[in-house]
Structure 1
Amino acid sequence: MASIQKRPDGRWRARYRDEIGKEHARHFARKIDAQRWLDEVTASVVTGTYVDPKAGTITFAQWFTQWAELQIWSRGTRLSAAQALQSVTFADLQMKKIKPSHVQAWVRSMTLPAATRKSGLSPATVKVRYNLVRSAFKGAVADRVIVLDPSDNIKLPRERRPEVAMTIPTTQQVASALKAAPDWFETYIGVCAFAGLRLGEAAGLQVGDVDFLRRTLTVNRQVQGENRKVAEVVTPKHGSERVIFVSARLTEMIARHIEHVGVHGDEQWLFSTGGHLWNRGMAGYYWREVREACGMEDFTIHDLRHFYASALIASGCDVATVQRALGHSLPSITLNTYTHLWPTAEDKTRTAADELMAAVLDGPADFVRTDVQ
């Protein structure tokens, strides 16, 4: 129901009732403007894009907070969401007033140095925060808080190509790291380098996860948290629970660790210090000591996971095999990360041609040519 009436002061009052019966009204100097407004409202109702004008008065911070509370997230994702909200430059703006230029300016601000950092955030971190904020805007559109998503078509900083950004230690460097590591840290490096475990997955290993007879490691938990106060045991990220087939020498390394270093607690944790579970901060601290001792300052513990993946690919493992070993939820993740390590069609063609020529030209030394009469 909509109507237009002329008021005593000469202005025109246009009003309508929305789908729940709530009345909305605006005043105009000209009747034609009032009619145009009602036509726009009617069109939005018909097309299903109608939004209560007062819904968009909520600020972005208020909307993001209430939207985030409804999401089924891991602790790590919630932490990332809190960091994203803290970084936005339009937190106090009303949702209906946020423009694409506001979002673009925020993205740019993350690429610049700030009071708390000497350089801008990495393109990967910017992308994570942007995706969280964009999800909140999409939720606002779906809930009819706003009509359009202002985060659409925003330009993000370019990420470096995997083949340029990825650092993979050599076998000699990994050997040096193992030699430089103290006994209680050597096996931690080993499960990262020879089973491809993530930091938290390695920290979450218990004796019961190791099948010494079948030579497997089972990943069904991880330790999250940057320090002792917030460290907690959680299930692995989606798709990461897996059984890894490992070398007999790795199970022997773990067995020596159990014998000489020992295990901790009733759960028999492989890695713990003074009753505290390992965490990212502790693992990073010990790794920095090791890498400084053997000249590997350019490498992180996560690079040991790349080392493992590159070895699988070099041995001829296909995408599905590498995906399962690394615990990627989708094969596309494996390909996007490591596609540059797989031999190309040109490489395969060249190798096949080399083998063909070798079979023809490099015959047995005692080969005797027989002329056909």
Structure 2
Amino acid sequence: MTQRRNRRSSVEDRWRKRDGTPSANDGKGKRWRARYVDDDAREHSKGFTRKVDAQAWLNEITSAQVTGSYVDPVRGSITFTRFYEDWSARQVWVPSTRTNADYVAKVVPFKAKAMSAIRRSDIEAWVKSMVDAGLAATTIKTRYNIARSIFRAARLDKIVAGDPTENVTLPRARRRDATMTIPSAGDVAKLVEHAVDRFDVYVQLCAFAGLRLGEAAGVQVGDIDFLRRQLSVARQIQRDGNRPRVAPPKYGSERVVYLPEDLVEALSRHVARWTPEGPADRWLFTDDEGVPWFDNRVGWRWRKTRAAAGVDCRLHDLRHFYASGLIAAGCDVVTVQRALGHSTATTTLSTYAHLWPSAEDRTRSATAGLMTMVSEAAADALRTDGPNQAGDLGV
């Protein structure tokens, strides 16, 4: 019988000698063997009863190699946990991202399954279990995105042929305008007044400069230009275990924030009282040992301040207060984007679009302006020409 051979793949009669004569085992077991060599020069083979089945399997493998969808059967057998450990060790992550990813890899119900054996149904069941557990839609989306990034990496590494997380339906998150809390001016005044342990200026940086928690903690005295009344946001403080870690601002949020005069004066008083001397890179907010504040040290001060003020809001809501003030003052989306340090104007709009005046609001304002102009003109005519002239205006 004729054998089909080439350097990388072949279908062979296992029970015939090279000269074509039958061997002693002829006709026993799976007669036909299909074999191929992968890109790493490893040989793979599989036995079949019929030659047509062997050739069909080999054709499928060859097609996958040509189209780039080939998956190494040996590598695809590694578990989700094993792949994550190997892949995550190569990632350049900030500590908080690594902590979140490690947690997801630890709790997914399919962590012990082979990567190639994980199906879309496994992902759907996991998402449903999180919904049943009462987790917020945003939390579920964050965990899902972490799992999806793992499977995308596995597909690029030819561990899996497809992405089982693709197009999985997630619970719908509530609209931003329904969930956003914006403190009132009175609330912010109470928070500043009742701030504990040097925390008043920190609160003001969040409320009147729009800084995030880590950005405010990362301010150095040299970042403040008191003459130009501006602040350079150049870093943030993150927590690494129980110690602070200096990192760049979130996703390219380096920026210059223009400060109101009252905030500049508050910063000046804070520096004069708490850190009057030292190099320009000294921290604006430190503990008694000179260690900059990070999230847990900020957190307890915020909780005590909020309780003393009787105000129920998050620290991040002060950033919303700042954004709402810029929008109310007529700032356009690009101005607000740059002030907040958003990477794109799309991010700003998706968060704060509901705060900008709508077409209806602008129409009413314009019409009110027209009516005011007519009323003023009528009043002027009445004063200048008398009642008869004014009556012509329909007053």
Q: Same fold (TM over 0.5)?
A: yes
Q: Secondary structure at the match of 1:26?
A: strand
Residue-by-residue CA offset, 1:287-319 (whole Å, 9 max, x unaligned):
11121122212x111000000001001111111
Q: Unpaired runs of 5+ in structure 1?
A: 114-119
Q: Secondary structure at the match of 1:167?
A: coil
Aligned to 1:117: none
Q: Is the 8 A contact 2:205 2:216 kept in 1?
A: yes
Aligned to 2:297: 282
Residue-by-residue CA offset, 1:218-264 (whole Å, 9 max, x unaligned):
1111110177x232111112221111001010000111112234469
Question: Are 1:4 and 2:12 an aligned pair?
Answer: yes
Partner residue of 1:224 out of 235, 238, 256? 238
Q: How does 1:282-301 map to 2 (within 5 A)?
A: 282-297=297-312, 299-301=313-315
Partner residue of 2:351 out of 311, 319, 337? 337
Aligned to 1:327: 341
Q: How does 1:122-201 map to 2 (within 5 A)?
A: 122-182=136-196, 184-201=198-215
* Cα 1:255/1:183, change in 2 over 3 Å: farther
Partner residue of 2:67 out of 31, 41, 47? 47
Partner residue of 1:254 out of 267, 284, 287? 267
Give how far 1:4 is off: 3.5
RMSD over equivalenced CA pairs, Å: 2.1
* Cα 1:81/1:263, change in 2 over 3 Å: farther
Percent identity at matched positions? Answer: 47
Residue-by-residue CA offset, 1:14-38 (whole Å, 9 max, x unaligned):
2222234322111223333222212
Question: Are 1:310 and 2:324 an aligned pair?
Answer: yes
Q: Is the 8 A contact 2:10 2:34 kept in 1?
A: yes
Q: Which amino acid aligns with 1:203?
A: A
Question: Are 1:69 and 2:85 an aligned pair?
Answer: no
1:183 and 1:249 map into 2 onto residues whose CA distance is 20
Give how far 1:45 is off: 2.1
Q: Secondary structure at the match of 2:140?
A: helix
Aligned to 1:116: none
Q: Which amino acid aligns with 1:243?
A: V
Q: Which amino acid aligns with 1:5?
A: D
Q: Is the 8 A contact 2:95 2:240 kept in 1?
A: no
Q: Which amino acid aligns with 1:60?
A: F
TM-score (norm 2): 0.87
Residue-by-residue CA offset, 1:75-124 (whole Å, 9 max, x unaligned):
222222212212211111111100111112222333344xxxxxx43222
Give how far 1:176 is off: 1.1
* Cα 1:355/1:326, change in 2 over 3 Å: same
Q: Secondary structure at the match of 1:306?
A: helix
Q: Secondary structure at the match of 2:198?
A: helix
Q: How does 1:339-354 map to 2 (within 5 A)?
A: 339-354=353-368
2:143 and 2:156 map into 1 onto residues whose CA distance is 20
Q: Is the 8 A contact 1:60 1:93 kept in 2?
A: yes
Aligned to 2:227: 213
* Cα 1:288/1:259, change in 2 over 3 Å: same
Q: Which amino acid aligns with 1:73?
A: W
2:343 and 2:276 map into 1 onto residues whose CA distance is 31
1:252 and 1:236 map into 2 onto residues whose CA distance is 25
* Cα 1:70/1:42, change in 2 over 3 Å: same
Count of residue pairs the alignment pairs up? 364
Give how far 1:265 is off: 6.9
Q: Secondary structure at the match of 1:129?
A: helix
Bigger radius of gyration, 1 or 2?
2
1:135 and 1:265 map into 2 onto residues whose CA distance is 45
TM-score (norm 1): 0.91
Q: Is the 8 A contact 1:194 1:246 kept in 2?
A: yes
* Cα 1:32/1:329, change in 2 over 3 Å: same
Give how far 1:197 is off: 0.4
2:355 and 2:205 map into 1 onto residues whose CA distance is 22
Shifted more, 343-352 versus 244-253: the winner is: 343-352
